[in-house]
């Protein structure tokens, strides 16, 4: 079946640098994408989302880019801080489902002080 995957399982950056976390999706019918942050031992927290009619969306220190041509999603974190260290998951709405999300395996971001 179709699934969401990630290019890099781990990413290590220096504090203050920008971070880019990538995600590939294969279900062309998905029209909603979301990024979650999960700290160790906790539940995932919403970061930012984007619909397929957009190619970029910005939040506070975060930007999500969507390239539907190559089915690629990325999360950019500006001026990465130690508190950003976590696992980041992308998810898609399972081929257009109103409720079900399909999650990628996650990328572990480590920020070095």
Q: For binding to other proteins (CB under 8 A), which residues are involved?
A: 32, 34, 36, 41-46, 49, 89, 93, 98-101, 103-106
Which of 104, 111 has the CB closer to other proteins? 104
CB of 5 to other proteins, least distance (A): 9
Shortest gap between Cβ of 84 and other proteins (angstroms)? 18
| DSSP character at residue 40 | T
- Sequence-distant (≥ 6) Cβ neighbours of residue 95 within 8 angstroms: 2, 27, 29, 30
C-alpha distances (whole Å) from 57 to each of 52, 66, 87 are 11, 9, 21
Question: Is 82 in a helix, a strand, or coil?
Answer: helix
- Decide whether 56 or 105 has the Cβ nearer to other proteins: 105
CB 57 within 8 A of CB 46: no
Q: In whole angstroms, how close is the CB of 16 to other proteins at the nearest point?
A: 28
User: Which one, 11 or 106, has the nearer CB to other proteins?
Assistant: 106
> Which of residues 16 and 30 has its CB atom nearest to other proteins in the complex?
30
């Amino acid at each position: 079946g179709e699934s969401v995957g990630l290019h890099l399982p781990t990413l290590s950056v220096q504090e203050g640098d920008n971070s880019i976390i990538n995600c590939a999706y294969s279900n062309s019918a998905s029209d909603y994408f979301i990024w979650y942050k999960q700290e160790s031992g906790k539940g995932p927290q919403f970061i930012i989302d984007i619909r397929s009619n957009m190619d970029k969306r910005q939040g506070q220190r975060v930007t999500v880019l969507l390239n539907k041509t190559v089915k690629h999603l990325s999360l950019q974190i500006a001026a990465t801080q130690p508190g950003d260290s976590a696992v980041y998951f992308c998810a898609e709405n399972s081929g257009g489902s109103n409720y079900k999300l399909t999650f990628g395996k996650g990328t572990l971001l480590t920020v070095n002080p």
